[in-house]
Amino acid sequence: MNALVVAPVALPLVAAAVLLLAPRSVLLARALGIGTTGLVVVAAAVLLARTLTGEVPVVQVGGWPAGIAVVLALDAFGALLLLLTSAVTVLGLVYAIGTGEDRERTFTSLVLVMSAGVSGALSTADLFNLFVFVEVVLIPSYVLLTLAGRRQRIAGARLYVSVNLLASTLFLAGVGLLYGITGTVQLGELAGAATASTPAALAAALVLLAMGVKSAVVPLHSWLPGSYSVAGPAVTVLFSGLLTKVGLYALFRLYSVLFDGDRRFLWVLLALAVLTMVVGVLSAVGAKAVRPVLTAHMVSQIGYVLVGLGLSTVAGLGAATFFLVQYVLVKAALFMVGGAVEVRYGTDVLARLGGGLVHRERWLAVAFAGSALALVGIPPTSGFVAKLQLATAAAADGPWWVLVAVVAVSAVTLVSMLKLWNGVFWGEPSALPAPPRGPAATLVGPPLLLAAVALVLGIWAEPLLAASTIAGQQLADPSAWVAAVTR
Amino acid sequence: MSAAVAVGVLVAGGAYLVLQRGLLRVVLGFVLLGHAIVVLVLAAGGDGRGFPLPGNGAGAPADPLPQAFVLTAVVIAFAVTVYLLGLLRAGSTEPGPDDDDARGPG
């Protein structure tokens, strides 16, 4: 039964290879892509159900003895994120049918390889394999960014590839130094290594710095708006759901295991978290098109998630997990709405759209309104529960300025969501030429579904709250995970 | 000691090139930085234990793990470098800049 841990890595890779070898057929690509990632969702759900009982499924790949084998293991935090990323991948692939991006020959294969890399990064217990899996995620993303390359996209891709190459170089240097100091890269054997010696702490800090670049923590964030807002609509949805989340996962996992949640450095994380929230939300105020506003908010939401890591209490880590899950869903929905407007009207610049689309695009407006409210944190949406949890945890254990930032940044978020609502949907009927046909179901269905999930998670939050609390407990005390991967 | 100096020189040169204008220099800078990391990881594995060749008689063989790391990293860095060069070529054949200023900052 433990072999199921391998499935989310192996299945998409096999499917991607089959797709590349098979004769070109859009229908086959759609069926195989959605079918495979659907299977991964099922596997992730089964694994999550098992990890919630406190069990940690482990596989020593190839049957090698511990210490030599490549170890894949999942705890509640990893399994929850695995379920989340695979669900976003399925919806992203459905949405790509609507935007027409999956007509590109290699699109589905690249997305499958990317999702295999994400699953691997979420389940590996080895620092060097984490590096390899992160590269497996990044390399398809380089190509996806430049599909149907316009000049603007090439410029964005140059920035994106360069920054990520630099971050990977840093990461590898950190891994090499840690190996030199401790003689191992197995995360289980490295548990607490950074608290034991200063050189190890410095090497581990280098690894965290590299992951900070990949998850766009201010002041290492400036590559993100430049590259995400030039990608295709479905590609942006997939990037927002998968890429920076791997970086965030690694930050949580590595700080929890290597530093054992060391309280001496928490003020650094809290200061970075607040800086990320504030800078992100303020840069959204100046943006004049839908996707740049949304990517700027992505930075600010990453700050919210980091607040939980900066608190490093059971409540804080649990709240961060809940926040991360709901924010990925909500953000994907918002990007889908923005992309759908762009696909149907040829632009997402607010001044050119001029508002008034609510009269034509009723369902897109509903999806936008629902997910925008959830992003701001208005009850009864999931964002309210998430921010309430985070604010409660910050009030209990954090300094006062964290709580102030959590509330104030939400208010500014509301301002820019209102700007988007007024600029795209509200007002007199739009003067833009109407597209000949109504929007395809694949274009409107996924964001509507996600907005509905945001509402459900707000009203019936108990299951996810329980799961994220268990994840928080396991992150605060990773001994079960460490024992499982070193066995 | 020689490894440390080599890493220092390579990182200095790489950092200088990465900070230059022009993507080609940046790419070359990344090549240097990649080499620096290769030397770093190999040195971290310990270079005092002889070469990993049978029968060279210098005691225990060298640690194979850093060499495996480096091999993997070199392949990945090579692939990404070639891709960056591809982007350089793709960007240079297009007409002049037409940045969409209407989308605003960020």
d(CA A338, CA A350): 11
Which two structure tokens, joined as six digits, stand for A314? 């059971």
Up-side HSE of residue A469: CA atoms within 13 Å toward CB? 9
Residue B106 lies in a domain: no
Considering only alpha carbons, which residue of chain A is nearest residue B71? A132
Is B69–A176 a contact, with Cβ atoms under 8 angstroms apart?
Answer: yes
Query: Would you put residue A361 in left (φ > 0), alpha (ψ -120 to 50) or beta?
Result: beta
Instruction: Tell me, yes or no, if B28 comes closer than 8 A to chain A by beta carbon.
Output: no
Mutate to test the interface with A, among B20, B30, B80 (most CBs of A within 10 A): B80
Structure confidence by residue, pLDDT tens digits, A50-61: 999 988 999 988
Give the per-residue pLDDT at B96: 46
Structure confidence by residue, pLDDT tens digits, B40-90: 988 887 655 555 555 555 566 667 788 888 999 999 999 999 999 988 888
Q: Which of A142, A173, A284 is the closest to B40 by Cβ?
A: A173
Instruction: Tell me, yes or no, if A139 comes closer than 8 A to chain B by beta carbon.
Output: yes
Residues of B in contact with A165 (CB under 8 A): 30, 77, 80-81, 84
Instruction: Tell me, yes or no, if A177 comes closer than 8 A to chain B by beta carbon.
Output: yes
Give the per-residue pLDDT at A367: 94
Residue B55 lies in a domain: yes
Q: Which residues contact A164 (CB under 8 A, 6 or more apart)?
A: A138, A142, A213, A214, A223
pLDDT of A66 over the 60 cut: yes
Please state the rounded mean pLDDT for residues A76-90. Answer: 95
Residues of A in contact with B87 (CB under 8 A): 146, 154, 157-158, 161
Residue B105 lies in a domain: no
Residues of A in contact with B98 (CB under 8 A): 151-152
Q: Which of A149, A176, A291 is the closest to B40 by Cβ?
A: A176
Residues of A in contact with B104 (CB under 8 A): 286-289, 292
pTM of the model: 0.93
Residue A351 confidence class, pLDDT cut points 50, 70, 90: confident
Is B43–A180 a contact, with Cβ atoms under 8 angstroms apart?
Answer: yes
Give the per-residue pLDDT at A112: 96
Q: Which domain holds residue B82?
A: 3-99
Give the per-residue pLDDT at B52: 53
Give the per-residue pLDDT at A275: 95
Q: At what angle do helices A314-345 and A290-311 cross, to 10 degrees?
A: 170
Give the per-residue pLDDT at A465: 94
Instruction: Tell me, yes or no, if A152 comes closer than 8 A to chain B by beta carbon.
Output: yes
Give the per-residue pLDDT at B104: 45
Give the per-residue pLDDT at A157: 87
Please state the rounded mean pLDDT for residues A105-128. Answer: 94
Residues of B in contact with A152 (CB under 8 A): 98-100
Please state the rounded mean pLDDT for residues A174-201. Answer: 90
Is A180–B45 a contact, with Cβ atoms under 8 angstroms apart?
Answer: yes
Residue B51 lies in a domain: yes
Q: Mind telling me how many Å the CA of A137 is from chain B's nearest CA? A: 12
Give the per-residue pLDDT at B56: 56
Give the per-residue pLDDT at B93: 58
Residues of B in contact with A158 (CB under 8 A): 23, 84, 87-88, 91
pLDDT of A398 over the 80 cut: yes
Structure confidence by residue, pLDDT tens digits, A321-341: 999 999 999 999 999 999 999
Instruction: Tell me, yes or no, if A80 comes closer than 8 A to chain B by beta carbon.
Output: no
* Percent of chain A residues past pLDDT 70, beyond the cut: 99
Give the per-residue pLDDT at A328: 95
pLDDT of A267 over the 50 cut: yes
Give the per-residue pLDDT at A100: 87
- Split into its structural domains, chain B has a count of 1
Give the per-residue pLDDT at A148: 66
Q: Mind telling me how many Å the CA of B23 is from chain A's nearest CA? A: 8
Q: Which of B18, B43, B94 is the closest to A151 by Cβ?
A: B94
Residue B104 lies in a domain: no
Structure confidence by residue, pLDDT tens digits, A129-179: 999 999 999 999 999 988 866 677 888 888 899 999 999 999 999 999 999
Is B90–A152 a contact, with Cβ atoms under 8 angstroms apart?
Answer: no
Is A165–B80 a contact, with Cβ atoms under 8 angstroms apart?
Answer: yes
Is B80–A146 a contact, with Cβ atoms under 8 angstroms apart?
Answer: no
- Least trusted range by pLDDT, from A232-236, A483-487, B28-32: A483-487
pLDDT of A355 over the 60 cut: yes
Considering only alpha carbons, which residue of chain B is nearest residue A183? B45
pLDDT of A487 over the 60 cut: yes
Chain B residues 51-90 with CB within 8 Å of chain A = 65-66, 69, 72-73, 76-77, 79-81, 83-84, 87-88, 90
- Least trusted range by pLDDT, from A67-76, A212-221, A431-440: A431-440
